[in-house]
């Protein structure tokens, strides 16, 4: 509907107004799925429409960045959009009352929705527990499919949402086997399968599996990092129907992408003129050590400095399993201060090995 509206506007046409009902309007909460002994783990999905009030602020000059910065300090998955004097926002937070208190400094609410995400999680588990698994059958044959490799639940989910039809768990220190690839090729059941290894050490296994598999035309895209994989998926467009063209566009999408990783050193070393001490955090691009610091956020910032973001428009800050959102904010604030024109996208990757993955596009 959004695309149809844009197309109609560009053509000078008008489309009829449509009414849409909320899929959650008839949802009934089952209180038994969140008891007195339950532990709140995931927080609350908080959404609201805020009408800016002239008695509290200047609606025309109001900077929505004020809300964004505050919400990022108390939650994640932050979205804030301003249209005239109305602000729409979304945040996942453990303290929704703080969202309401802060926003009311600038206006009054038109709508407010606060949902217990722990309850939603338990409802999903309950539904899965009572669902009889269907017999495994091959999906309908499709012309194209993408198989990607990723480590970390957040990254794997992102890849799936961006268009990967199958995501194999794997990465640094955990390379998938050729059999893992063959099973994934069977699962996606496509005429042409594009493979994103996303790690230089996994390229060989992917290519071996491609040579072994006879059921599809398997093409390995030489993605050496998670950043390459993000770039390829963000530009993925199979609508041309031409496998050669899609493959060429995938290879072009990686050009100019820089991926840096921050991880803790397990030994002393002198590499590329950088003295590394055991226990310090090292930043590297590919196999080149960029920085070594006692603090991981300092290592991330020094690595970003060496990356020279002035020629890039977007930076993905993907935090690892052991990195708190408040710590990642230090890195994002560094980018905002030194590269104010660069857009920042923060993500909880959930990866084990790397405390940060920094992708510049």
CA 176, CA 223: separation in Å to the nearest integer? 15
Percent of the chain with pLDDT over 70: 91
pLDDT of residue 250: 94
Return the DSSP state at 104.
T
**Dihedral (Cα; 176, 181, 187, 188), 10-degree rounding:** 120
Asked whether 176 and 203 are in contact (CB, 8 A), the reply is no
Q: Tens digits of per-residue pLDDT, 309-328?
A: 888 889 999 999 888 888 99
Mean pLDDT on 336-347: 90
Look at residue 23 and tell me whether its pLDDT is greater than 60.
Answer: no
Burial class (CB in 10 A: 0-12, 13-18, 19+), 274: middle
What does the mean pLDDT of the chain come to? 87
Residue of 361, 299, 352, 358 whose CA lies nearest to 171: 352
Mean pLDDT along residues 253-269: 87
> Greater confidence, 286 or 349?
349
Q: What pLDDT is attached to residue 272? A: 66
Q: Could you report the per-residue pLDDT of 180-228, keeping only the tens digit for each?
A: 999 999 999 999 999 999 998 898 889 999 999 999 999 999 999 999 9
Phi, psi of 345 (to 5 degrees): -125, 115
Q: Is residue 132 very low, low, confident or very high in pLDDT (cuts 50, 70, 90)? A: very low
C-alpha 193/C-alpha 182 separation (Å) is 11
Q: What is the pLDDT of residues 223-243, one digit of tens each?
A: 999 999 999 998 888 888 899
pLDDT at 90: 93
At 22, is the secondary structure helix, strand, or coil? coil
Going by C-alpha positions, the residue among 292, 315, 288, 314 that lies closest to residue 302 is: 292
């Amino acid at each position: 509907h959004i695309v149809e509206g844009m197309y109609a506007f560009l053509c000078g046409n008008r489309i009829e107004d449509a009414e849409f009902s909320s899929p959650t309007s008839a949802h009934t909460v089952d209180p038994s799925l969140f008891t007195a002994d339950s532990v709140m783990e995931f927080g609350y999905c908080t959404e609201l429409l805020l009408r800016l009030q002239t008695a509290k602020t200047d609606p025309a000059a109001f900077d929505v960045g004020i809300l964004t910065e505050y919400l990022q300090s108390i939650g994640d998955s932050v979205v804030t959009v301003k249209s005239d004097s109305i602000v729409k926002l979304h945040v996942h937070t453990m303290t929704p009352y703080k969202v309401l208190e802060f926003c009311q400094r600038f206006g009054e609410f038109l709508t407010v929705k606060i949902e217990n995400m722990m309850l939603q999680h338990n409802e999903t588990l309950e539904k899965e527990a009572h669902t009889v698994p269907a017999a495994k059958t091959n999906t309908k044959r499709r012309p194209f499919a993408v198989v990607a490799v990723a480590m970390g639940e957040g990254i794997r989910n992102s890849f799936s949402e961006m268009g990967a039809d199958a995501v194999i768990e794997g990465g640094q220190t955990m390379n998938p086997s050729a059999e893992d690839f063959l099973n994934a090729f069977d699962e996606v059941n496509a005429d042409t399968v594009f493979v994103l290894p996303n790690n230089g050490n996994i390229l060989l296994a992917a290519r071996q599996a491609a040579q072994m598999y006879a059921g599809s035309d398997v093409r390995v895209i030489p993605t050496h990092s998670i950043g390459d994989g993000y770039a390829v998926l963000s530009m993925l467009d199979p609508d041309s129907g031409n496998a050669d063209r899609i493959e060429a566009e995938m290879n072009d999408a990686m050009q100019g992408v820089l991926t840096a990783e921050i991880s803790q050193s397990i030994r002393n070393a002198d590499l590329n003129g950088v003295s590394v001490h055991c226990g310090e955090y090292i930043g590297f691009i590919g196999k080149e050590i960029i920085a070594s610091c006692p603090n991981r956020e300092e290592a991330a910032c020094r690595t970003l400095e060496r990356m020279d973001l002035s020629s890039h428009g977007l930076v993905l800050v993907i935090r690892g399993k052991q990195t708190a959102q408040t710590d990642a904010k230090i890195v994002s604030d560094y980018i905002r201060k030194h590269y104010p024109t660069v857009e920042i996208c923060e993500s909880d990757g959930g990866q084990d090995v790397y405390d940060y993955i920094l992708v510049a596009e």
